[in-house]
Chains A and B, each alone.
Chain A
């Protein structure tokens, strides 16, 4: 039996990995669980490990917290709206780009451009684009509804402000859906397509009945990934509206951020975080079970 490949490497690598994971992720996680069951804020003037126990008081408060529940509902609407629109647009784009045509590489390079921008930058772009004197009002809407367009203040009306955030997310992440669907659809073996063509199937029929069913699982994964990402939404709301007007566009992430940073309500923020974590864990587990495992 010859020597095996270097084993020392294994020991060498696991120590820093475990240090990093434990030090930066697991210990704070334990700290969060502890904080969720005590009553503590830095304003109390004691160290957090000396804080008095509060039992389930924080969780009870969260269930009765209208602002938290409103933020949850809003974020859920955001996830459903963005993910479904992005999916449909991504599907349309990948259908249109399946065939070969002149300049296709350049078109794809342009289409995926938003993916590379930092979300902060996209938020800034949309913030500027929707200013009262920006091009949306001053060029596009003025063209349709006339001078009235200049009086639309996108960030001062709850629904309009929410729409700008939706648009920013759709603008940036439709290319992601497109990339996944497109690479899946073009990986479908040519012989299936050719066989269907010989039998006289239209390209529309081939797309819906042959290509799409073959990438069913990939579609599920794309939707899960996007939904998990969309639920985290923070950057757009923070930069463009700051959750405003009032709390009309406050997402879950923004609410937790404000609880812990602005209001220093640390132990309550920890319990809200824990509830959100639990919900995400259950939701994604259910989704994986129903869509991927049963779909096999």
Chain B
């Protein structure tokens, strides 16, 4: 609808647009400023940790080196607690997140296939898996500690892997099921008549079409497992410590070690940010849950 083009209207529209862009700019700054400051802090030498400037005077990599060789770290400040190098938690996090993802997606794919084609394991189990995501994880802390102690799974990456896989398998099931539902059963039947073995039908017909779902749910589960803190905190103590636990230790355990804290936070956020941007475009289109009436 074309408005009557009078000068008054133009002025108003321009002002509204200016306000609009200023609000958007405000939100961008609101998000960017804390991150920018942390990045700068992570490159500041010890003497500048207590300055608020956004650009370090003498940029240094000391903070990052500190994380990997704690000897430097304890030389820095005499009263800090001895902290393990960050290498092991990094390796643990990579192992835990990727194996949990493989298990969850592997099971999820076949369960999704059964759910789509044979209505098995049935709506109750499917809904139950979803329910587990809604309840506060803290309520499961107590029994899991007791249970894992009894099974001697405490401070063991296997314990964490199983827990993360169980807690996130629901995403793999529901996301992949959506893709398998879109494949006509006839295609599989034709392949079977043509003499293909069942496993080949899965590999040649179902898998290629379900691949985007497998990738997205896999990345999502990896992200969840990589960032989880509460259970990792409770179920590990030294051998199986993951990266979020280690990062929290820098803050709660060592006192004012600002530069190292900032560096640890940045190291911990790198993989999830990369993965996040890969799945972002899927998120925007997939976030309506089919709930908009069209």
| Chain A contact residues, CB within 8 Å of chain B | 2-10, 12-14, 16-18, 20-21, 23-25, 27-29, 31-32, 35, 42, 48, 89, 92-93, 96-97, 107-121, 123-129, 131, 133-135, 137-139, 171, 175, 179-180, 182-184, 187-189, 197-198, 200, 214-215, 217-218, 221, 228, 231-232, 234-235, 238-240, 242, 252-254, 256-257, 259-261, 266, 269-270, 273-274, 276-277, 280-281, 284
- Number of contacts between A and B (CB, 8 Å)? 311
Q: Is the CB of A20 within 8 A of B165?
A: yes
**Cβ of B65 < 8 Å from any Cβ of A?**
no
Q: Taking the nearest CB of chain A, how far is it from the CB of B101, in angstroms? A: 14
Q: Is the CB of B227 within 8 A of A119?
A: yes
Name B234-263 residues within 8 Å CB distance of A. 234, 244, 247-248, 250-252, 256, 258, 261-262
> For residue A266, which residues in chain B have a CB less than 8 angstroms away from its CB?
142, 145-146
- Other CB < 8 Å A-B pairs besides A25-B166, A32-B139, A135-B52, 7 of them? A3-B193, A23-B166, A109-B277, A125-B34, A171-B34, A180-B287, A257-B230
> For residue A115, which residues in chain B have a CB less than 8 angstroms away from its CB?
276
> For residue A31, which residues in chain B have a CB less than 8 angstroms away from its CB?
143, 146-147
Q: Is the CB of B142 within 8 A of A24?
A: no
B120, B147, B247, B276: the one within 8 Å of A124 (CB): B247
- Alpha-carbon separation in the docked complex, A17 to B189 (Å): 26
Q: Is the CB of B1 within 8 A of A198?
A: yes
Q: Is the CB of A214 within 8 A of B110?
A: no
Interface of chain B, main secondary structure: helix
- Alpha-carbon separation in the docked complex, A240 to B248 (Å): 9
Q: Taking the nearest CB of chain B, how far is it from the CB of A93, in angstroms? A: 6
> For residue A32, which residues in chain B have a CB less than 8 angstroms away from its CB?
139-140, 142-143
- Write out, one digit per residue, whether chain B residues 146-177 have a CB within 8 A of any chain A CB (1) or not (0): 11011000000000001101110100000000
Name B185-244 residues within 8 Å CB distance of A. 185, 188-189, 192-193, 198-199, 201-202, 223, 226-227, 229-230, 233-234, 244
- Alpha-carbon separation in the docked complex, A70 to B103 (Å): 40
> For residue B276, which residues in chain A have a CB less than 8 angstroms away from its CB?
112-113, 115-116
Q: Which of B19-27, B66-74, B78-86 contacts A (4 or more CB under 8 A)?
A: B19-27
Q: Taking the nearest CB of chain A, how far is it from the CB of B236, in angstroms? A: 12
Q: Taking the nearest CB of chain A, how far is it from the CB of B222, in angstroms? A: 12
Q: Is the CB of B142 within 8 A of A273?
A: yes
Q: Is the CB of A252 within 8 A of B138?
A: yes
> For residue B109, which residues in chain A have a CB less than 8 angstroms away from its CB?
13
Q: Is the CB of B134 within 8 A of A124?
A: no
**Across the two chains, which residue of chain B brings its CB closest to A270?**
B142
- Write out, one digit per residue, whether chain B residues 95-135 have a CB within 8 A of any chain A CB (1) or not (0): 00000000100010111011001101100010011001011
**Across the two chains, which residue of chain B brings its CB closest to A256?**
B138
From A10, A12, A23, A228, residue with most partner B Cβ within 10 Å: A10
A129, A214, A239, A254: the one within 8 Å of B293 (CB): A214
> For residue A231, which residues in chain B have a CB less than 8 angstroms away from its CB?
136
Q: Is the CB of A23 within 8 A of B162?
A: yes
Q: A20-B169, A27-B147, A217-B291 are in contact. Are A6 and B202 (CB under 8 A)?
A: yes
